[in-house]
Amino acid sequence: MSRKSWSPRSLAAQAMGTIDPVTKAVVPPIHVATTYIRDEDNGYATGFIYGRPDNATTHEAEGLLAMLEEAKAGALLFGSGSAAATAVFQALSPGDHVVVSKVMYWALRNWLMTEARRWGLAVEFVETDDLKAVKAAVRPGVTKLVWIETPSNPLWTITDIAAVAEIAHKAGAKLAVDSTCASPIHTRPLTLGADIVMHSATKVLNGHSDVIAGALCAREDDEFWGRVKTVRKGQGGILGPFEAYLLMRGMRTLHVRQERQSASAMALAERLSAHPRVARVLYPGLPQHPGHDVAARQMENGFGFMLSVQVTGGEAAAIGTAAHVELYKRATSLGGVESLIEHRASIEGAGSPCPTDLLRLSTGIEDVDDLYDDLDQALKAGHA
C-alpha cells in the first residue's frame, strides 16, 4: 500500500508520515533557528534564508493543513486568526469594494468597520445566506472580494458556498470563506469553488486551547495569493515554530475530536429543543434550521461542534444560566476539548447582532449526558 493511497485521516494521524531523518523519531522536530548558513556560492540551496518568511516546522504544519483542505496552492500560517483574515483584506487596493457576511466573528467585523475603511476599502455587510442580497450587493468589475463565514458565529446561519462562488466569480471577484467553525472535516470550501479558506487555528484545528494561530489556504497560486504571501512576509506575521509544533500535534487528532464533538453537539441540540426553558436552538443539523438543506449538501461527517440556545426569560435568565454551570466553563473561544459557554451579546457590546437571550455553546469531548445534565440544572437555576 503506497503513501499516495492513504486517506486524509491516516495522513493527519501520522503528520503526513514524516520520519525525522537523523533520529528516526515519529514526531517531527521543532526547528527554532532564525538564520541559516549560505552556500559557498553565496546562495541558499535549502531554500531557507531567514526565520521571518520561512521556518521548517511551520512549513510542516502548513503542508498538513493544505492536504486537509485540498489546497493546491498551499497554506500559510499566521500568529492569529485575525492576522490571517486581515492579511487577505490588506492584499487588496485602496478603493476596492468588498462584500462580507453581516454575522461573523466580532473582532474581524469591528476591524472591517474601522481599520479597513481607514485603509480605503469600501466594506458592505449583507446577509450572505440570502443569495438575492448577495447578488444585489456585488458590483461587477468593482467588487474585488466576497468574504463569507459559514456556519456564522454565533447564529450559525449557513451560506451556500458554491452559489456565492458563482456570483463572485461572474463579477470578477474572489471568494474567501471563514471555515473556522466547520473545519476541513465538515467542509472544504476550496472544492466548492472558493478561492481562499481561512481558519482561526486557535480553535478546533488545534483543539487544546493552548495556541493562538491563524491559517489561510488557497486554491490557485495566482497574483492575489502572491500579494497575500507578500503581506505575511513583509509584516512578519508567520506563526512561530513552537506554536506550529503544537498545532501539528492538534491536527493529528482532528478527525477523532470532531467526530465526538459534532455527534455530541447534535445530541445536545435535539435534547435542548425539547427543554421547557429553551425557546430556540440554533444548530444547522436540526431539520427545522433554515439552512439545514444547504448544510446537508455542503457539509459532511456531521454539522459541527457549535450551537447556540435562546432561553426563555430573556437576558437575565441567559446570564443566570451561564452563572450556574459546573461542567461547562464560562470562557471565550471555542473548539477545545473542554466545553465552553458564553453570553455573547454582553461580550460583543453595542451593535452586536446577537440576541440578548442567546448563549453560545462550544461542545468538547466530555460525556454528552454530563453536558446535558449540567445545562439542565443551570437552566433551572438561572430561571429561579
Using the 8-state DSSP alphabet, how is residue 142 labeled? T
Is 293 noted as a catalytic residue in this protein?
no
Using the 8-state DSSP alphabet, how is residue 280 labeled? E
Catalytic residue among 96, 178, 357, 374: 178
Q: Is 384 exposed, middle or buried (0-12, 13-18, 19+ CB in 10 A)?
A: exposed
Phi then psi for 208, rounded to 5 degrees? -130, 10
Catalytic residue among 188, 203, 229, 360: 203
Tell me the C-alpha distance between 181 and 197, whole Å: 12
Residue among 125, 119, 123 nearest 94 (CA): 119
Tell me the C-alpha distance between 160 and 220, whole Å: 21
Tell me the C-alpha distance between 169 and 155, whole Å: 27
Catalytic residue among 96, 102, 105, 257: 105
Is 203 noted as a catalytic residue in this protein?
yes
Tell me the C-alpha distance between 196 and 147, whole Å: 9
Could you give the 3-state DSSP secondary structure of residue 59?
Answer: helix
CA distances from 190 to 66, 73, 156, 184, 372 (A): 11, 11, 20, 10, 35
> What are the start-end ranges of the E strands in 214-263?
214-218
Catalytic residue among 9, 36, 44, 52: 52
Q: What residues are labeled active site?
A: 52, 105, 178, 203
